Amino acid sequence: MKDFINVSPLTLLELSSNKELGRGNLGVLMSRAGVGKTACLIHIAFDKLFSNQKLVHVSLDDTPDKVTSYYNVIFSHLVKALDIKDEIEKRMLFERNRMILAYMHQSFEIKRLRENLKTLVEKLDFAPDCLIVDGLDFEAADKETLQGFKGVAEEFNVEIWFSALTHRHITDKNERGIPYPCSRVDDMFSMIIQLNSTQTGIFLELLKDHDNPVKPDASVRLDPNTFLVTP
Amino acid sequence: MAEDIQRLRNIGISAHIDSGKTTLTERILYYTKKIFAVHEVKGKDGVGATMDSMELERERGITISSAATFCEWKNHRINIIDTPGHVDFTIEVERSLRVLDGSILVLCAVGGVQSQTITVDRQMNRYKVPRVAFINKCDRSGADPIKVNEQLRARLNHKTALMQLPIGLEGDLSGIIDLVTMKAIYFDGPYGEDIRIEDIPQNLIDNAKSYREELLDTASMFSDELMEAILEDKVNEELIYSAIRQGALSRKLIPVFLGSAYKNIGVQPLLDGVLKYLPSPVDIKNTALDMDQDHKEVEVSSEANAPMLALAFKLEVTPYGQLTYLRIYQGTIKKGDDLINSRDRKKIKVGRLARMHADKMEDITGASAGDIIALFGVDCFSGDTFTDGALRYSFTSMFVPEPVISLSVTPKDNKSEMNMAKALNRFVREDPTFHSHVDHESGETIISGMGELHLDIYVERMKREFAAEVETGAPQVSYREAVSAKAEFNYIHKKQTGGSGQYGRVAGFMEPSETGAYEFVNAIKGGVIPTEYIPSIDKGFQSCLKKGRLIGFPVLGMKMTINDGQYHSVDSSDMAFLQTAIGAFNQAYAKAKPIILEPIMKVSVECPSEFQGNVMGSINQRRGIIISCTEDGVFTTIDSEVPLAEMFGYATNLRSNTQGKAEFTMEFSRYSKVPESIAEELKKTLAEGARKGKK
């Protein structure tokens, strides 16, 4: 197997000051619809899973079946792209280290997430290192909700990655260069990255790097088929 | 005979256990005048619902075996197969779906989409069955049909068209609003047989208009004509019916009806919906395999004057003898006809033909394409194809899962021994997931099936229907063996005991097969073993797979390659090379690091969210792996994978952990390696059991 860590989209963080999001912190991946937000988010998940970290995928929209099929499709692409020989072992590794928590029909509450994580730790001895939160409506999400997530990140000592949908027709940015809808709540995030599709390719760009200025050209080019970093 | 096939519907009624499908069937039979009184499941009158024909089913209030029945509604003929809800009997569901053209998916307005609904839905997808949904029990406390419709969209990923709205809910349910005709429908009379149509109550008009808009939006995706009519404000009922029918037949849309079968509300409009939106046999593309063209898939015509083709999808013992349920796909069957069984080419004569109505029957003289009928006294297996001899076709064999659990049965006396043999012979023919064999070492009769309840039902049936009193052993998991490494063999079989001797040498290697199935590779060069002996070597290897050398269970996923050997012009024979292969297998097996595999079950538990922790703990204690946890309102569904060996007694454990408020379903997922520590223990236990068996 070629080294996934060297071609994972999270290689971008090598260009950041701390080289990681860090436990207790929130990060967000922003992208327009159809660019590959979910695929990129799941690559972030695989980055953690292949490093033998425990991960909880929180889905606020999709059923576990759908989430599982996203992982399976991306894994099968990775098997081909990275020439993974020990496919069965790798699959067992990520299935054992991944837990899907789905909240259907507005069932989600921070309180429930906290209780569920507690159950995982206490009953299953499954202490996560990272949370992936997919499907949070950033236009409707208030600061209180994000503060709740921040509390969860600190209490369970995990880093949390979100996905956020941007719109083609809303080009507003705040004074720090963060696009809508995260522009209203960017202080809640330690890292903000954006997936952009341009005529020359797909790029993952660092927009916020903790409290440090973002280095110029802090972006990586991704293969549009595999979402792996390409020269 | 010249009845219009387009006015025929073959439908199933499938759902989660206890969602009220047997009550619904009972009402359908009542309104179609097939029965003249209504009896409830577990009813106080002691009669039981008509479709639960077996005594055991009546007693338990559940439907175990599918019973076929025939009825007529508005000049259409409808064949209904009532199917069991418990996952242990899913072969019944699978069989009925194979021969049906459409289905009613029944859901409970309180429980909504449950894990069993998902299983049944998956099965319907596998057999490409178009369906309509019926949200039943809208009279129950906590009923929320709108939420259930949302669950159909979210959890089953279906596009749905809500055809009706309830008038009142729970105890106040009094009728339904038809969103196509925009009329209120009430059901009067002791059993709701008198339909009264009125204007929609004033307070519900706005809501009805809004849902009708949504219905039109959905329906217009399947018809440009309707889309144009909407834009020009020229919508009529026929356009809506036609658009929804197109959506339903293409399986891209599920029309959703609602009501309460128990309170006699909404059943007749559902029947209208079956006629409008479910396909007739001509609307469905069916295929068979042409044995004369190397099993090429060919389309079946559904013409009554085409050569006859029929599938035996269910066998049943009745007081009159063996009853074979047949679906005729093309052509016609008449009393006195000769039929050929495609499996063994045996000819049978059609004696008595009947249409079944639960456990009663109606004699008929003939039936044609699309029909579901029963034949008497035909000796065959479930899944056999019958033709009139003009075609050599066979229907694709139905998907049959392997049994995962076994137990020994011992007759209590001589009479029971004979009766048990009769019963087992019958059950094996009826149910392809039920297996029976005699263990040569212990002499015990072993029965195998899909779960504890599955085998439990057969043991009860032995007692009740065949007067066979039996004692059962502890349930035993069906383990498997596999090799995990490559190992070479080079074996000489030499025997000289007077007369012509036996000689053979075979060399090569065994290894895990990549496909998971048995593979035999002949890499012999230069004729060191003559071609005529190669099949015997293959046969010898295959005979070894039936009983592995580690714990005596079948061996899976083995690849055998032979690349060298030797023969003797006088002493070599088929028998000698068969024995050589067995010796070679034994020589290499231990070196190939054999491992034990155990069945892993997909277990889905639904419980009120407050018990989530207890349920997760209980799965974890059983070596289970939690895959996901889904919260929906106050309910949580926990999906996991658990070794079957750890699942015995789980129902009791779950009840006590959740105050009886949780339920679970279980189905076979795959075989997986038993952990080393447990494998060692298992080897000891099985060896001890085998020793006791020999004594």
Question: pLDDT tens, B599-610?
Answer: 999 898 888 888
- Reported as a single tens digit per residue, the pLDDT across A7-25 is 888 888 888 888 889 999 9
Over residues A69-77, mean pLDDT: 90
Measured between beta carbons, which residues in chain B are less than 8 angstroms from residue A123? 613, 616-617, 620
Most confident range (mean pLDDT) of A54-63, B15-24, B458-467 is: A54-63
Q: What is the CATH number of the domain that holds A124?
A: 3.40.50.300
Most confident range (mean pLDDT) of B118-127, B397-406, B582-591 is: B582-591
pLDDT at position B648, please? 83
Distance CA(A23)–CA(A154), nearest Å, equals: 7
Q: Name the fold adopted by B596-677.
A: Alpha-Beta Plaits (3.30.70)
How large a percentage of chain B has pLDDT more than 70?
Answer: 89
pLDDT at position B93, please? 62
Most confident range (mean pLDDT) of A85-99, A109-123, A177-191, B639-653 is: A109-123
Domain map of chain B by residue range? Answer: 5-173+254-283, 286-394, 406-477, 485-592, 596-677
Measured between beta carbons, which residues in chain A are less than 8 angstroms from residue B625? 95-96
- Which CATH number is correct for B406-477, 3.30.70.870, 3.40.50.300, 3.40.50.720, 1.10.3720.10? 3.30.70.870
Q: For residue B266, count other CB atoms closer than 10 A to its CB.
A: 28
Strand partners, B386: B310, B341
pLDDT at position B64, please? 42
pLDDT at position B84, please? 58
Across all residues in chain B, what is the average pLDDT? Answer: 85
Q: How many residues does chain A have?
A: 231
pLDDT at position B89, please? 55
Token pair in block for residue B596: 């034990």
Over residues B354-374, mean pLDDT: 82
pLDDT at position B576, please? 94
Give CA torsion, residues B104, B105, B109, B114, to 10 deg.
170
Q: Minimum mean pLDDT among A167-181, B113-127, B418-432: which range?
A: B113-127
Most A CBs within 10 Å, among B630, B635, B638, B671, to test the A interface? B630
pLDDT of B684 > 80? The answer is yes
pLDDT at position B399, please? 57
pLDDT at position B63, please? 46
Over residues A151-168, mean pLDDT: 93
pLDDT at position B541, please? 96
Instruction: Grade residue B48 by pLDDT with cuts at 50, 70 and 90.
Output: low
In a domain, A190, yes or no: yes
Cβ distance B609 to A112 less than 8 Å, yes or no, reads yes
pLDDT at position B148, please? 93
Higher-pLDDT residue of B686, A48: A48
Cβ distance A99 to B154 less than 8 Å, yes or no, reads no
In a domain, A230, yes or no: no
Over residues B68-88, mean pLDDT: 76
Over residues B215-238, mean pLDDT: 91
A212 CB within 8 Å of a chain B CB: no
Most B CBs within 10 Å, among A69, A104, A120, to test the B interface? A104
pLDDT at position B319, please? 64
Q: What amino acid is encoded at B166 in this protein?
A: P
- Name the residue facing B632 among A68, A104, A126 (closest C-beta): A104
Q: Name the fold adopted by B286-394.
A: Elongation Factor Tu (Ef-tu); domain 3 (2.40.30)
Going by C-alpha positions, the residue among A50, A27, A10 that lies closest to residue A163 is A27
Over residues B534-554, mean pLDDT: 92
CB < 8 Å from A in window 619-658 of B: 620, 625-633, 639
Q: Are B686 and B628 in contact (CB under 8 A)?
A: no
How large a percentage of chain B has pLDDT more than 90?
Answer: 39
Q: How many domains does chain A have?
A: 1
Instruction: Grade residue A126 by pLDDT with cuts at 50, 70 and 90.
Output: very high
CA distance B140 to chain A (A): 22
Strand partners, B376: B323
Instruction: Grade residue B266 by pLDDT with cuts at 50, 70 and 90.
Output: very high
pLDDT at position B486, please? 94
pLDDT at position A139, please? 87
Over residues B243-263, mean pLDDT: 93
Instruction: Grade residue B65 by pLDDT with cuts at 50, 70 and 90.
Output: very low
- Residue B307, preceding bond cis, omega within 30 degrees? no
In a domain, A227, yes or no: no
Token pair in block for residue B10: 């073959």
pLDDT of B695 > 60? The answer is no
Instruction: Grade residue B94 by pLDDT with cuts at 50, 70 and 90.
Output: low
Most B CBs within 10 Å, among A55, A89, A119, A121, to test the B interface? A119
DSSP string, B531-558: GGGHHHHHHHHHHHHTS-TTTSSPB-SE
Residue B184, helix vs strand vs coil: strand
Over residues A97-103, mean pLDDT: 95
CA distance A68 to chain B (A): 9
pLDDT at position B443, please? 80
CA distance A127 to chain B (A): 14
How far is the CA of B212 from the CAs of B201, B250, B598, in angstroms? 15, 22, 52
Going by C-alpha positions, the residue among B476, B426, B473, B421 that lies closest to residue B448 is B476
With 0.80 as the threshold, say if the pTM is over it: no
In terms of residue numbers, what domain contains A132? 4-222
pLDDT at position B2, please? 39
pLDDT at position B491, please? 95
CATH no. for B5-173+254-283: 3.40.50.300
Measured between beta carbons, which residues in chain A are less than 8 angstroms from residue B639? 64
Distance CA(A119)–CA(A131), nearest Å, equals: 15
pLDDT of A161 > 90? The answer is yes
pLDDT at position B61, please? 44
Instruction: Grade residue B302 by pLDDT with cuts at 50, 70 and 90.
Output: confident
Give, in words, the CATH class of B485-592.
alpha beta
Measured between beta carbons, which residues in chain B are less than 8 angstroms from residue A124? 616-617, 620, 626
pLDDT of A170 > 90? The answer is no
Instruction: Grade residue A214 by pLDDT with cuts at 50, 70 and 90.
Output: confident
A105 CB within 8 Å of a chain B CB: yes
pLDDT of B470 > 70? The answer is yes
Going by C-alpha positions, the residue among B480, B475, B478, B479 that lies closest to residue B408 is B475
A110 CB within 8 Å of a chain B CB: no
Over residues B366-386, mean pLDDT: 85
Instruction: Grade residue B567 by pLDDT with cuts at 50, 70 and 90.
Output: very high
pLDDT at position B239, please? 93
CA distance B678 to chain A (A): 19
Same fold, B5-173+254-283 and B286-394: no
- Crossing angle for the helix pair B21-31 and B267-277, to the nearest 10 degrees: 80
Q: Kindly give, in sequence order, each residue whose CB lies less than 8 Å from that of residue A208, ignoring residues fewer than 6 positions away.
A: A176, A178, A186, A189, A190, A191, A192, A214
Distance CA(B599)–CA(B666), nearest Å, equals: 12
Give CA torsion, residues B242, B244, B250, B252, to 10 deg.
160
pLDDT of B172 > 80? The answer is yes
pLDDT of B316 > 90? The answer is no
Distance CA(B521)–CA(B672), nearest Å, equals: 26
pLDDT at position A3, please? 77
